[in-house]
Structure 1
């Protein structure tokens, strides 16, 4: 376990240290440390534009995933109908397929079958297909754990369907939905393969910016700073997601 964790986290530590490396060729170990690259990154217009685009795409994809994933979870978790298991498989399939296959399918669908021009919306729609999966899985797992007893008790006491959902179902489901939304946003934010195939020229998300600038002269240190920020920024959503998932399933009280 120690070797496995070291294999994952030592390179991340190297990225963090290299973001303060004064050398542009990444001499190791660093002979001198500086914060110059952090200052340069803050003032980099390309980085700011890429971050904004990634946030816009992530928010649209996450919103769509929350709505559709929750509805699917209720449909498949609360009702029995013909083709339910097939539909469940189709919902989960996008995240299991190779990214290049999904990307090619969406590009062909948008350009050939629908005749649409690629835009930031095509990127968000493509991202939403695999973001739905994490919201759906979280919501479905929570619905199965909570059962129908609380809702039945609410209705026995005179509450209608909407009141029961507002006062009973949604509060019990809220933690799982927030956790799913955080994971969905993270998936969208760092997606690169699907984005490359569904984004038009000029629309650059942060992962694409990193990919494009990784080999450019004097851009390596800035790329390391961006990567370091992403590593640090990922800690809080992951922590919140685990905490909320634990609380929504009772794990927070163990």
Structure 2
């Protein structure tokens, strides 16, 4: 499509303003983490890495980071197993209610986080507490898995739609059983989609705060929750800026890797 010069200028201006609205606040957070003053003065009088060292020495921040990593890895593992199984069922088999199942799987990521958090909190209080299981790491993992499953499901379904069934049929004609076909044929073709879905699921879980607030017990504090709880403490402001900046930088890695993997062809090469 050929656009006129004014149209191109308008589109580029709109895109530039959109990117500025998204990324300038993140840049300010990064600069705030290097500000030698405790107050958010602007422009900063200089640059320092002292607050980064202080953040690393902060026991609460380190504990919250480890909690986020544990919850993210566990939720990603659950999402990979359940999301892949549901994707195979929906894409490879015809059964009554298939579209309803697909809709039910995707719905949690479209719901507001506070709605999901309240619903899960009510369900856990009603079902688990009478059994002696209170809010804690287990409920956080279950809560995160509800929306992490969606990204794995979408990645695997998209890849399965592009895979011809003739490869698997040929392997079965040669005598390979179901699990051998999956391990030797299907899994290598799905590997990049699974890795991309897992990375996105981990990034979503690592950054989640709303659902975590409603599903975590008093002894469980993830890194985003730690940031939120310490934002109003003036003495912690520089350390909070450092942790927030580190969280942004760490989130870029799995998202970029997932984007690169998602653009792979089924055979692993580039299009």
TM over 0.5: yes
Q: Which residue is equivalent to 1:70?
A: 84
Q: Secondary structure of the residue that 1:105 maps to in structure 2?
A: helix
Distance verdict in 2 for CA 1:15–1:184, change over 3 Å: same
Q: Which residue is equivalent to 1:6?
A: 20
Which digits, 9 at most, give the CA deviation of each residue in 1:64-87, with x for residues without a partner? Answer: 000000000011110000011111
- Once the two structures are superposed, the pairs formed by residues 19-58 of structure 1 within 5 Å of their partners are 19-58=33-72
Count of aligned residue pairs for this structure pair:
254
Deviation of the 1:203 alpha carbon = 1.1
Q: Which runs of 4+ in 1 moved over 6 A?
A: none
Q: C-alpha separation between the residues in 1 aligned to 2:35 and 2:57? A: 18
Q: Which residue is equivalent to 1:236?
A: 253
Say if 2:32 and 2:241, in contact at 8 Å, map to a contact too. Answer: yes
Matched, 1:92 2:88: no
Q: C-alpha separation between the residues in 2 aligned to 1:59 and 1:247? A: 24
Q: Which residue is equivalent to 2:233?
A: 216
Q: Which residue is equivalent to 2:127?
A: 113
Q: C-alpha separation between the residues in 1 aligned to 2:37 and 2:207? A: 27
Q: C-alpha separation between the residues in 2 aligned to 1:251 and 1:56? A: 30
Say if 2:128 and 2:134, in contact at 8 Å, map to a contact too. Answer: no
Q: Determine which of 166, 174, 190 is the counterpart of 1:173.
A: 190
Say if 2:79 and 2:149, in contact at 8 Å, map to a contact too. Answer: yes
TM-score by length of structure 1 reads 0.96
Matched, 1:164 2:181: yes
Q: Which residue is equivalent to 1:124?
A: 141
Name stretches of at least 5 consecutive residues in structure 1 with no aligned partner.
Answer: none
CA RMSD, 1 decimal: 1.3
Q: C-alpha separation between the residues in 1 aligned to 2:164 and 2:153? A: 16
Say if 2:189 and 2:268, in contact at 8 Å, map to a contact too. Answer: no
TM-score by length of structure 2 reads 0.90
Q: C-alpha separation between the residues in 1 aligned to 2:27 and 2:266? A: 33
Q: Which residue is equivalent to 1:253?
A: 270
Name stretches of at least 5 consecutive residues in structure 2 with no aligned partner.
Answer: 1-14
Matched, 1:202 2:219: yes
Deviation of the 1:157 alpha carbon = 2.7
